[in-house]
Structure 1
């Protein structure tokens, strides 16, 4: 009596023509795949830089201080960063202690000297006593 060892690897034999032609295993190409991924990353990076330069935050504003707070006004001092020589239009808002908007204005920031950063002051009229002021945003003058 002969014994069959379970550890022997036996390749199955299929009847010819019954299951179609067996394919040879294909070689993988990791170098080609890595090169395609690298090219995709470079192209995506270049597109991102181009879009950031075209639509990025060239115009920005921030409040430096607010003073002269009364029941009907607030004086806002804010700093604006723009492309050199360009004017800007900034939107200012005053809020009351409960968060309600009590004052709103679009302010033209002229840039006669062609500076990149400017500080401007604006007296904003309000409908109630303001608690704080903010620059909502700045954009190019159209």
Structure 2
């Protein structure tokens, strides 16, 4: 006997028997499979991030200001130390700022470590357009 409008709840679709196969159970999910896929995706993203950081990150180039001296109306001498890979070289950007924080001069300098050495100590004069208050190293990157 086929279903009629009198035996079916209003709003429910009516399908001919045997025509569309067996219907799936509602609410049947696979949480373990979904969790494994999320874990695999996160692991792949983590490995990709680690590879890119090791390839393009430059944690070996660190600079620190030792002192800044020789302050006049037109210059400041900056003594700084740079950590580089053994025997490597770095290009550092030095900056001089006035008392109000405005940049009054900057200079780029390349330093090279001796064979087998990782630390370079250098002194560089930064020319300025006004009297500086401080001399600093903004960043160092591989020379080239």
Query: Normalization by structure 1: what TM-score?
Result: 0.78
| 2:107 is aligned with 1:105 | yes
Task: Give the root-mean-square deviation of aligned CA atoms.
Answer: 2.2
Work out which of the residue numbers 8, 32, 38 in structure 2 matches 1:14. Answer: 8
Q: CA deviation at 1:23?
A: 3.0
Contact 2:71/2:77, CA 8 A, preserved across alignment:
yes
Q: Which runs of 5+ in 1 are unaligned?
A: 1-12
1:28 matched residue in structure 2: 29
Q: 1:18 to 1:101 in 2, by over 3 A?
A: closer
Q: 1:18 to 1:90 in 2, by over 3 A?
A: closer
1:47 matched residue in structure 2: 48
Q: CA deviation at 1:56?
A: 1.0
Query: Normalization by structure 2: what TM-score?
Result: 0.77
Aligned residues: 129
Q: 1:18 to 1:57 in 2, by over 3 A?
A: closer
Distance in 2, Cα, partners of 1:89 & 1:121: 13
Q: Secondary structure at the match of 2:36?
A: helix
- What is the 5 A alignment of 1:1-142? 14=8, 18-20=13-15, 23-25=23-25, 27-58=28-59, 59-142=61-144
Q: CA deviation at 1:76?
A: 0.7
Q: Which runs of 5+ in 2 are unaligned?
A: 1-6
Q: Secondary structure at the match of 1:114?
A: coil
